[in-house]
Amino acid sequence: MSKDIRFSVNGKPVTAPGDEPDLPLVDFLQEDLGQTGTKFCCGIGVCRACTVAVRRHPQAPLEPMLSCSTPVSELEGVDILTVEGQSVDGHPNALQEALLTNFAFQCGYCTPGFVMAATVMMDRLRRSPVKMEDLDPFIDNWLGDHICRCTGYVRYYRAIKQVILNSPGLVA
């Protein structure tokens, strides 16, 4: 019998069955935990709609993780943050609110991936702010690989930049 895999999702301890070590994280989130915010799209890690954030130990920076191609066997002891974990008391956080008020998406399928990538990016900025003149390339570096089939890139970038500029300490 295989050892179960223990990790946390949005601050809550979870256990994935050890007899399914190749089970993709996105499937575990949706089927076992009922968290459907993380999207399965291309299935090969190209579109990035399935992005979640991972913290490998308490002081570590957040890292983006493609949940469609990450098996649960690689998650022992890590903390996973999904789009469902972004709300504050059941209300959209500042990033989610900015995406809404800027009409940043049309179909919204890619939105969870953008939210999670921006969350990871902002965690990095808290640890090491960038100069104002470096902000646009920094955002492009973190979000440039995400695919939006509705081509909402300009609005996503505008909304995310707005949140960064309104958050103290992210820009030097």
> In whole angstroms, how far apart are CA 147 and each of 56, 105, 132, 138, 170?
26, 12, 25, 17, 25
Q: 45 with 68: CB under 8 angstroms?
A: yes
Q: How far apart are CA 50 and CA 128, in angstroms?
A: 26
Kind and range of the H or E run holding 24: none
Question: What long-range pairs does 156-160 form, CB within 8 A, spacing at least 24?
Answer: 156/99, 156/104, 156/105, 156/114, 158/102, 158/104, 159/95, 159/98, 159/99, 159/101, 159/102, 159/104, 160/95, 160/98, 160/99, 160/114, 160/118, 160/121
Q: How far apart are CA 138 and CA 144, in angstroms?
A: 10
**Across the chain, what does the average pLDDT equal?**
94
Q: 144 with 75: CB under 8 angstroms?
A: no
Q: What's the pTM?
A: 0.94
Domains of the chain: 5-82 (3.10.20.30), 94-165 (1.10.150.120)
pLDDT, tens digit (0-9, with 9 covering 90-100), for 73-112 = 999 999 999 999 999 888 999 999 999 999 988 888 899 9
pLDDT, tens digit (0-9, with 9 covering 90-100), for 53-73 = 999 999 999 999 999 999 999
- Return the pLDDT at 106: 86
Q: 82 with 37: CB under 8 angstroms?
A: yes
- Return the pLDDT at 108: 86
